[in-house]
Amino acid sequence: MAGVQPLNKKTIVKKRTKKFARHQADQFKRIARSSWRKPKGIDGRVRRRFKGALPMPSIGYGSDKATRNIHPNGFKSVVVNNVAELDMLMMHNRTYAATIGHSVSTRIRRDIISRAEQLAVRVTNASAKLRNEEDA
């Protein structure tokens, strides 16, 4: 459903796009790919926020409240598992887009997609797990 345009056109600005590296992740292969962990050591440079040390995540890196949780297509995402849950988005079709749950069967996916077209609700993964009629 490409016809529905988002209501909010505000540009999404991220204060930081890089991931926060774990302390000493550049020195040890085993933690090089790991996610952020807060340093707990008594003498840690990162924990004490010394100049030149790695930055720590803090509340100041948070996104603008108006653009938080918004996808690049301009919609907020709601996971939908059946047609009844899709009907909740009827009056909010310019703010929220439906994402069909991964465990939903092909038959119910078709029902959800057809109902979404009637309600003019954008479905982000409308083509997932669907085959053409001649393939089946």
Average pLDDT of the chain to the nearest whole number: 91
For residue 8, what pLDDT band results from cuts at 50, 70 and 90? Answer: confident
Percent helix / strand / coil, the chain, rounded to 5: 20, 10, 70
Whether residue 37 has pLDDT greater than 60: yes
Instruction: Give the per-residue pLDDT at 1.
Output: 47
Instruction: Give the per-residue pLDDT at 135.
Output: 53
Instruction: Encode pLDDT of 96-126 as tens digits.
Output: 999 999 999 999 999 999 999 999 999 999 9
Instruction: Give the per-residue pLDDT at 10.
Output: 86
CA separation for the pair 43, 41 (Å, rounded): 6
